[in-house]
């Protein structure tokens, strides 16, 4: 990865000139503020840094997230809006709550509005009202799954969205969503700048698949791995409980297999992991079916984890369909594998007992676990600090164990994936012993 080409500059609406109010309620403590000069090196590998310094250059860096001593917006006059978009994910309510609490108690902002049902909430013809967000309204929402504000998929007219922001006199917009939402946020921020408006747009990356580019971890991922691990445990018990038992679990991961790979390592009862980044053959001496057959003959049971985006090349002749957001609807690799396994062993006159588990929607709609609650709190509060300082067209990312400001241009439209040569996948191969599953 060429980190030198990654944009790192964060646009500003103007020069911050208002002392932050958050120092007023920390009278007994020295509040730690950060400045734009506090930065996190993107590439921390020693050889890369040595090469940069030997050339007399400086490494690429991200701004450190956190409260600034001087802010841009007057909290007493500021109106903020928050919207959640796309699929559900554990932690959405934690993000909403942390943003509201930091605005209200940290900065004294009293006009905070929740936009209902994603980007549809900005468009008049849908008729979705807004929600006034207060500490009382969001106090216990982290106990619940889903999104307190609701969500929706599909593009909406950017001009109409900005028109709504102007009508409501919104000056800080927090957008929580995945890659599609971040691309929409980029277009919204560009339109705002073209109109000469002073509106901060801050993205909070949301993807249960953990595939946001230049973000090392996204909220909801920890919870997803937790629940996926329980599914693996159940599948393993089912497989061992019957002669020739097979447990097959389909997990989330349209284009990236982070959940499947990480959950397999967490439980280490898995014999096969299939992910989108690593191709496999179904047939042939070293293909999946023959390798599974050898495993069954040797141990009498097997556990298989497949990410939803794996093996899509086996559906080349299928009709291409798209969802409301324009994403290609994936063919069901889980059911495909189940049928293929049943037919394979039936042809060999071998009885098997196969149990198929798909916990995807249960995982998406559950409340976050404790680790994700803490993570969401940091993300939400960091987003507020960035907006209050007058920064825009950025997302809050986690990089090299720090919360940082990532320009939307560095992330939107790109995707992080499991490296076949990286430590994660090599550890999976070592744990499962599955081999390459290719006839090479």
Binding residues for substrate: 207-209, 252-254, 308, 361-364
65: DSSP letter: P
Cα angle vertex 210, ends 205, 216, to 5°? 80
CA quadruple 398, 400, 402, 404: dihedral sign: negative
Q: Are the CB atoms for 353 and 168 separated by under 8 Å?
A: no
Q: Which two tokens stand for residue 361?
A: 């929607």
Helices (H), 139-257: 158-168, 179-194, 221-240
Q: Which long-range contacts (CB under 8 A, 24 or more apart) does 24-33 make?
A: 25/105, 31/67, 32/66, 33/66, 33/67, 33/68, 33/69
Binding site: what residues are annotated?
Answer: 87, 153-154, 178-181, 207-209, 252-254, 308, 361-364
| CA 266 from centroid of its chain's CA atoms | 19
Strands (E), 270-427: 272-274, 301-307, 353-357, 394-399, 402-407
Given the residues 38, 209, 332, 358, the one annotated as active site: 209
- Tokens 């040569």 belong to 421
Tokens standing for residue 427: 């550890």
At 405, give phi and psi (nearest 5°): -95, 120
Task: Please say whether the beta carbons of 107 and 384 come within 8 A.
Answer: yes
Q: What DSSP element (H or E) covers 112?
A: strand 111-115
Distance in angstroms (rounded) separating the CA atoms of residues 127 and 116? 10
The encoded tokens of residue 100 equal: 């509201």
Residue 328 β-bridge partners: 322
CA 83 to CA 27: how far, in whole Å?
34
Does 209 qualify as catalytic in the annotation? yes
Catalytic positions are 209
């Amino acid at each position: 990865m060429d980190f030198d080409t990654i944009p790192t500059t964060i646009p500003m609406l103007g020069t911050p000139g208002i002392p932050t109010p958050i120092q007023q309620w920390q009278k007994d403590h020295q509040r730690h503020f950060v400045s734009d000069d506090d930065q996190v090196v993107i590439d921390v590998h020693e050889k890369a840094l040595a090469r940069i310094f030997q050339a007399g250059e400086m490494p690429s860096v991200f701004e450190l997230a956190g409260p600034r001593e001087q802010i841009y917006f007057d909290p007493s006059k500021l109106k903020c809006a928050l919207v959640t978009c796309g699929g559900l994910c554990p932690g959405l309510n934690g993000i909403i709550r942390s943003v509201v609490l930091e605005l209200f108690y940290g900065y004294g902002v009293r006009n905070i509005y929740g936009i209902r049902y994603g980007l549809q909430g900005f468009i008049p013809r849908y008729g979705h009202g807004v929600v006034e967000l207060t500490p009382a309204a969001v106090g216990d929402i982290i106990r619940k799954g889903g999104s307190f504000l609701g969500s929706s998929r599909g593009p909406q007219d950017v001009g109409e969205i900005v028109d709504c922001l102007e009508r409501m006199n919104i000056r800080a917009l927090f957008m929580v969503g995945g890659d599609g939402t971040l691309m929409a946020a980029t277009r919204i921020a560009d339109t705002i700048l073209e109109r000469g408006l002073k509106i901060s747009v801050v993205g909070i990356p949301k993807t249960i698949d953990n595939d946001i580019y230049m973000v090392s971890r996204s909220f909801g991922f920890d919870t997803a791995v937790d629940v996926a691990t329980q599914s693996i445990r159940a599948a393993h018990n089912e497989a061992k409980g019957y002669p020739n038992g097979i447990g097959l679990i389909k997990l989330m991961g349209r284009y990236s297999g982070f959940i499947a790979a990480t959950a397999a390592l967490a439980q280490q009862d898995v014999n096969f992991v299939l992910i989108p980044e690593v191709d496999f053959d179904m047939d042939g001496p070293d293909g999946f079916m023959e390798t599974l057959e050898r495993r069954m003959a040797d141990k009498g049971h097997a556990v298989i984890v497949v990410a939803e985006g794996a093996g899509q090349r086996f559906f080349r002749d299928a009709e291409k369909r798209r969802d409301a957001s324009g994403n290609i609807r994936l063919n069901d690799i889980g059911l495909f594998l189940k049928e293929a396994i049943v037919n394979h062993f039936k042809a060999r006159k071998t009885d098997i007992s196969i149990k198929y588990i798909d916990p995807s929607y249960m995982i998406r709609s559950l409340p976050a676990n404790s680790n994700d609650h803490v993570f969401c709190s940091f993300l939400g509060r960091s987003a507020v600090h960035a907006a209050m300082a007058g920064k825009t067209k950025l997302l809050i990312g986690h990089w090299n164990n720090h919360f940082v400001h990532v320009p939307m241009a560095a992330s939107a439209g790109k995707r992080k994936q499991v490296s076949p040569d990286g430590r994660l996948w090599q550890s999976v191969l070592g744990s499962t012993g599955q081999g390459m599953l290719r006839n090479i």
